[in-house]
Amino acid sequence: MTREAAPSDGADAPDIHGRDPGAFLEEVHSFEFWFQSVEGYLSEHPYGVVAGTRSSDLTASERDALISVLSTYCIGESAALEGASGMIRFAPNRHAKIFLATQCVDEARHLEILLHRLRELGVDDPENSIESFGHPSLREFRRRLLEFVDARDWEAALFAQNVVLESMEFAVFHAHQQTADPRTAQILEGILKDERRHMGFGENTIGRLLDRKPSTRARLGEIRQELDALVFGTFEESLRAVGQSAAERPEVGRLYLDTVARLGFGA
Amino acid sequence: MTALDSAGFDPIDEEAGRESAGTGGARRRFALEDDTGFDEVPKKYRRFYRKWRGPEDELAPNEVVCPVCKIVIRSARELREGDRVYCMPCMSRLVVVRGESGRLEATVRY
């Protein structure tokens, strides 16, 4: 994996971490970087799973709980799909516009594979069912996010979508993956690989924005207070439904709390 | 060790070294190989990252965990306080610091 180099190993070879920061940011926000990244884990994974992966036998109540949770995830993914696509129009620079375009594709894929999984679980019309099965708090979150987008409010929309929603999704999907049936676990693992980019883009872009414009902090803090309850409530319920113990749930929330703490938003 | 594609890379000891504390003598160098199964970045960069296996995961002297996305970042050299590292999976720029536990950690620089 990693071993100390002998002189013959080419120990003078350059290290990626010596790159110029501007060149790093230019590359990681590019379509080319995205394309070469997803190629590694999307190929040969139709609908997010390796062909032939079996699902474990689910009881009726386990199946119903999974349908409810995946429907809630679909609402989050459709919110991000509509949010990211709308934000391209008023994103402040080329890096952000191209990144959001790649995020749109990611979110569209997530929504498609989750709907496909719902069909596998016996839901006849998942597109229409997710609204009734999904959690009402996340529907309210989606409404609020799209209000920010419609108002072309870059700071609020980016914070709500790529910091609050994405980091909570990352934490919950990661926790759910540990206990999910093999097909659902593979789907979630693939989604998590995309979510790293999405939440990293959110935290880093908001962090740079706050460095330049500290006055924004108070307003984003108020938005955070408003949205926290909606997202925490949703994912608390989802974790309970997939069998996460009450003792483990605060650990899941910590990743989100650590993210907002790094940005300077206290508890 | 497979040769890196050096196009666009700066030599290790130039830019990154300026931010390093630069104490403690010569650094150990490490041969990185793309053998961890990590597939979330373009192939030419995969050797610089691996999955984190949780708090029990013992890090090598050339590794730190990204606090943003919990991926292990690897360098071809021993890391020291003040070094800059990049997390490509979440697009973060980080600086190596010594944490309260005494171990090296990475902190994000926006």
In degrees, rounded to 5, the angle at the alpha carbon of residue B31 between the alpha carbons of residues B25 and B37 is: 135
Among the listed ranges A247-251, B34-38, B45-49, B76-80, which one has the minimum average pLDDT value? A247-251
Residue B75 with chain A: CB contacts under 8 Å: 15, 17
Whether residue A86 is contained in a domain is answered as yes
Structural domain total, chain A: 1
Residue A12 with chain B: CB contacts under 8 Å: 12
Q: Identify the pLDDT of residue B24.
A: 67
Q: Identify the pLDDT of residue B14.
A: 43
Q: How far is CA A2 from CA A56, B15, B33, B50, B60, in A?
A: 36, 24, 7, 10, 8
Whether residue A47 is contained in a domain is answered as no
Asked if B11's CB is within 8 angstroms of A14's CB, the reply is yes
In degrees, rounded to 5, the angle at the alpha carbon of residue B106 between the alpha carbons of residues B102 and B109 is: 135
Give the residues of chain A that fall short of pLDDT 70.
1-14, 267
Residue B36 with chain A: CB contacts under 8 Å: 1
Asked if A201's CB is within 8 angstroms of B32's CB, the reply is no
The CATH number of the domain holding residue A215 is 1.20.1260.10
Report ipTM (2 d.p.): 0.89
Instruction: Give yes or no for residue B3 having a pLDDT over 50.
Output: no
Q: Identify the pLDDT of residue A51.
A: 87
Q: Is A34 exposed, middle or buried (0-12, 13-18, 19+ CB in 10 A)?
A: buried
Q: Which residues are registered as beta bridge partners of B97? A: B105
CA–CA separation, A97 and A85 (whole Å): 9
Q: By residue range, what is the domain housing residue A154?
A: 59-262
Q: Identify the pLDDT of residue A55.
A: 78
Asked if A11's CB is within 8 angstroms of B68's CB, the reply is no
Q: Identify the pLDDT of residue A249.
A: 74
Collapsing DSSP to helix, strand or coil, A8 comes out as: helix
pLDDT in tens, B14-32: 444 444 545 568 889 999 9
Locate A205 and state its tokens: 């872009």
Out of A11, A17, A211, name the one closest to residue B110 (CB): A211
Task: Kindly list the domain boundaries of chain B, sorted by start residue.
Answer: 26-108
Instruction: Give yes or no for residue B8 having a pLDDT over 80.
Output: no
CA–CA separation, A123 and A227 (whole Å): 30
Whether residue A243 is contained in a domain is answered as yes
Q: Which residues are registered as beta bridge partners of B72? A: B50, B65
Contact A236, A249 (CB under 8 A): yes
Collapsing DSSP to helix, strand or coil, B71 comes out as: strand
Whether residue A22 is contained in a domain is answered as no
Closest-CA residue of B relative to A26 is B91
What's the longest Cα–Cα distance across chain B?
Answer: 38
Whether residue A73 is contained in a domain is answered as yes
In degrees, rounded to 5, the angle at the alpha carbon of residue A261 between the alpha carbons of residues A256 and A267 is: 85
Residue A33 with chain B: CB contacts under 8 Å: 41-42, 88
Asked if B86's CB is within 8 angstroms of A19's CB, the reply is yes
Distance from CA of A202 to the nearest CA of B (A): 10
